[in-house]
A and B are shown apart, each in its own frame.
Chain A
Amino acid sequence: MTEMTTSTTPMAAGEPLVRVKGLKKHFPIHGGLLRRQVATVYAVDGVDFDVQPGEIFSLVGESGCGKTTLGRSLLRLVEPTAGTVTFRGRDVTGLPAGELRALRRKMQIIFQDPFGSLNPRMPISDIIGEGLLAQGLTDRKTRDSKVEDALETVGLRREYTRRYPHEFSGGQRQRIGIARALALEPEFVVCDEPVSALDVSIQSQVLNLLLDLRRDFNLTYLFISHNLSVVQYFSDRVGVMYLGRIVELGTVAELYRNARHPYTIALLSAIPEPDPRRRKKRLVLTGDVPSPVAPPPGCRFNTRCWLREKLGNPERCVTEEPELRVLQSGHQVACHFAEDVTSAAVVAVAASQPAIAPAASEPA
């Protein structure tokens, strides 16, 4: 399976930069007087993928699908429950604290919230400089000039080192967050929704910056987003997540043109396009994402699946969990009936939907 993944990428040669295998992250929920574990949140529940050197691999999905937790487990900001993460052939999950710190120089993260991710009581020189000091990349004397270099690299003025975060706009703060990660000269950067909190006119600035930096520093990105248009523009390959698992994975061209998972199709149909001529009848999913505390048995998407309904609710969807399998087109999909997905079927389903789609009942 992983061989197939590699072969679908343009740069097939050699080892992947990051390889994720069977990754799980379960959060216990404690309750009651004795604080016993009463339930488990299956945030990430068995994920495999490779990231090739130099590519932009995106994870898309809705809130609660586990994409953010997944990104953080790669850097061990949250400790994975099971599975392995390999960086340049080396298993990261078992590293002792000292080696983990050294590794963090190579694997960095850019956060979503430009306000929450900068310490409001620290000047920019400390915010960007503390990583440099912690990694032993500079000493106190040369720190400020390195911080200034980093600021300049992300388009900010060198003189800003003594300023505090609250003096900057959202986009400028996001640039500071990028400078903090980039100052360590990492090879791999997890970008966790880096533009979702920004104004539309600022988003494109930051996307351009990320692309420039990738070129300048030979970076590899794991780009996490819920915005399918941004992902389509930005990435080489995409993994679609639903309730802690990847349900479809392929190159951008393949996935956007020839999506085969009913969930991916619904996601794509839901994108509002800024062109009034293209108003369309959407394929609207009923109901909400089920709670990751109790994922549905069988296929996790079966409670909202329009394809299953169209096929007359086959038993297999509730009894057997579909594994990612490679289709003829080369991309991977986790659906028993992916071959039954045709554009005609999609149009037919969309057209037959009632004007006011009921919100499916959820457990109260």
Chain B
Amino acid sequence: MTETISATPPLGAPPDRDTLLEVRDLRTYFRVLDGTVPAVDGVSFSVGRGKTIGIVGESGSGKSVTALTIMRLLDIPPAEIGAESEVWFDGREILRIPLNVMRKVRGKDMAMIFQEPLTSLNPVFTIGEQIAEQVRLHLKTSGREATDRSIEALRLVGIPSPESRIKQFPHEMSGGMRQRVMIAMALSCEPKLIIADEPTTALDVTIQAQILELLKAIQQRTGSALMLITHDLGVVAEMVDHVVVMYAGQVVEQGTVEEVLLDPRAPYTMGLLESIPSVEKRGGRLSVIKGVVPSPFNLPPACRFEPRCPYAWDLCHEEAPPLSRVGSADRLARCHLHTSAGDSRRGAALQQHIDAMRVGGTIRDAPA
């Protein structure tokens, strides 16, 4: 059942028409005083038109850098993009097009929503001016039409009396309202892809609920694809079709949201799910992923999760595991458990996870 994915398709072959975004072997490095840090290290995934994908990872996993690389918002240098990397968007490769062409793609066909709406809005312009500017730039419309479109976009995201709102400055609004403005801005040109980087992390729960509902409704209405970057598995479960889990710059698991959250195959994903506190675990210890996320300056030699992995054995320290198929073609996990070397251990490991989820707080490593 398990087999190793071979090399990426040869450079230049465009993906089929149903695929809006295809990222192939993306590598992003940062040059720093002490050398080169691989922030994104060979990431591949694709997003279908109108679909929602979740990129999940903790700090240092490379999920945000992935988004910024796709948007080409990184300064080069200090960043460097690997020569073998390809990003196909709407039928063309966008890592190699000139920046001024990319600028037209960005904002129009591909829009981004950031975590902190206050710092991503310009404080000296009214929100109306900021949205209208983007519309004028990309849709080549008149000033009057651009204003109308801005009002319409604000109304779409549920901002009351948008005609007067467009005259306000970002600091006159609350965090939730600003995030709505960011979304309105992203939507104003009816993009084919919205990239949302932790769009609700800075917001309170009740406001988060508003924004998530809003994103869902808008996506349904406009048919945009959504790439949602988050660390919150709850948000993922709520929002997305397909999940890519990243750890230390690599994809460690991907599949549909049901597959990944209900039947995880990478030990990192299993550990994350086991460690979430819940009412069933009251009174017991939470199971934990021991240790810390490795420093990018000092990555483990083979499997990057090996020092923290409860299932690791000698091989994991010697040889980096490939991303292996664990089901349908895009159901992948990066772990030796899913190569032939792990045949004898796989069943016990998966059983251990199931037990941990069932019992709640695991007692497998409790002191005697």
Query: Using a CB–CB distance below 8 Å, which chain A residues touch chain B?
Result: 62-63, 169-172, 199-205, 207-208, 211, 226, 228-230, 232-234, 252, 256, 266-267, 269-279, 282, 284-286, 288-289, 355-362, 364
Contact = CB atoms under 8 A, between A and B. Distances in A.
Given A201-B58, A270-B208, A359 B158 contact: yes
Given A232-B277, A362-B177, A288 B207 contact: yes
A226 B231 contact: no
Given A199-B58, A205-B288, A228-B205, 7 more contacts: A200-B58, A232-B277, A272-B208, A282-B209, A284-B210, A285-B210, A364-B172
Given A207-B277, A229-B277, A234-B277, A359 B205 contact: no
B261 interface: yes
B234 A200 contact: no
A284 B276 CA distance: 24
B355 interface: no
Contact of A289 (B204, B231, B289): B204
Nearest to B243: A276
Contact of B271 (A201, A275, A277, A364): A201
B350 interface: no
B24 interface: no
Given A199-B59, A202-B292, A272-B235, A285 B209 contact: yes
B17 interface: no
Contact of A359 (B210, B231, B271): B210
B347 interface: no
Interface in B153-172: 156-161, 164, 168, 172
B153 to A, nearest CB: 12
8 contacts: A172-B292, A201-B58, A204-B287, A205-B288, A205-B289, A288-B174, A289-B204, A364-B172
A200 B204 contact: no
A359 B276 contact: no
B127 to A, nearest CB: 12
Contacts of B287: 204
A358 B293 contact: no
Given A199-B58, A276-B261, A361-B160, A205 B277 contact: no
B74 interface: no
B276 A274 contact: yes
Contact of B262 (A170, A201, A270, A277): A277
Interface of B: 58-59, 156-161, 164, 168, 172-177, 180, 204-210, 212-214, 216-218, 220, 231-238, 257-258, 261-262, 271-273, 275-279, 281-282, 285-290, 292-293, 295, 308
Nearest to A233: B277
Given A201-B289, A204-B287, A357 B276 contact: no
Contacts of B212: 272
B37 to A, nearest CB: 16
A273 B168 contact: no
**Which of B262, B273, B292 gathers the greatest number of chain A CB atoms within 10 Å?**
B292
B213 A274 contact: no
A62 B205 contact: yes
Contact of A200 (B172, B205, B233): B233
A174 B224 CA distance: 41
B176 A284 contact: no
B286 A208 contact: yes
A289 B207 CA distance: 9
A205 B293 CA distance: 13
A278 B180 CA distance: 26
Given A200-B231, A256-B279, A208 B272 contact: no
Contacts of B278: 229, 232-233
Contacts of B281: 233
B275 A279 contact: no
Kindly list the 6 A-B residue pairs having the minimum CB-CB distance in the complex, ordered from nearest.
Answer: A272-B234, A233-B277, A62-B204, A204-B275, A274-B233, A270-B209
Given A208-B285, A233-B277, A357-B213, A276 B177 contact: no
B257 A276 contact: yes
Contact of B217 (A208, A252, A282, A355): A355
A362 B288 contact: no
A64 to B, nearest CB: 8
Contacts of B293: 169, 199, 201
A273 B172 CA distance: 33
Given A228-B205, A270-B206, A276 B288 contact: no
B271 to A, nearest CB: 7
**Which of B220, B275, B277, B295 gathers the greatest number of chain A CB atoms within 10 Å?**
B277
